[in-house]
Amino acid sequence: MIPNPIYFRYSDIVRIDLKQRLQRDPDSSVDRRDLSFILRVLGDYVDRKGFRQFAIHFSKGSVKVKFDH
C-alpha cells in the first residue's frame, strides 16, 4: 500500500495536459531539470510497464519509482 495517495480522474489529466500544451511555446527548448518534463518521462515509463500502483520519490540528484505490478 502506498501511503497518502493522490487520485486524479482521467478527465482531469486530459484537461490539465491540454491546458499546458496550449501554453507551451512549440519552439522552446526542453529543460531536462523541469519538473513537468521529468514527470512526463516517468509517466510514459509507468504507462509502458503497466504498473498498478507506484510512488515517485525525489532526492538530490535522483528520482526513484517504487511500483507494484
Position 9 in a domain: no
- The count of structural domains within the chain is 1
Position 17 in a domain: no
Position 68 in a domain: yes
Position 29 in a domain: no
Supply 26's cell numbers: 512549440
Position 56 in a domain: yes
Position 8 in a domain: no
Position 15 in a domain: no
Supply 55's cell numbers: 510512488
- 55: containing domain: 34-69
Q: How many CB atoms lie within 10 A of CB 24?
A: 10
Contact of 20 with 34, CB cutoff 8 Å? no
Position 45 in a domain: yes
Q: Are strands 53-59 and 62-68 parallel, antiparallel or unpaired?
A: antiparallel
pLDDT given for residue 32 in this prediction: 62
| CA-angle at 55, arms to 4 and 46, nearest 5° | 140
pLDDT given for residue 5 in this prediction: 59
pLDDT given for residue 4 in this prediction: 61
Local confidence pLDDT in tens for the 69 residues of the chain: 656 656 667 687 778 777 877 877 777 666 666 777 788 888 888 888 888 788 888 887 788 888 877
pLDDT given for residue 59 in this prediction: 81
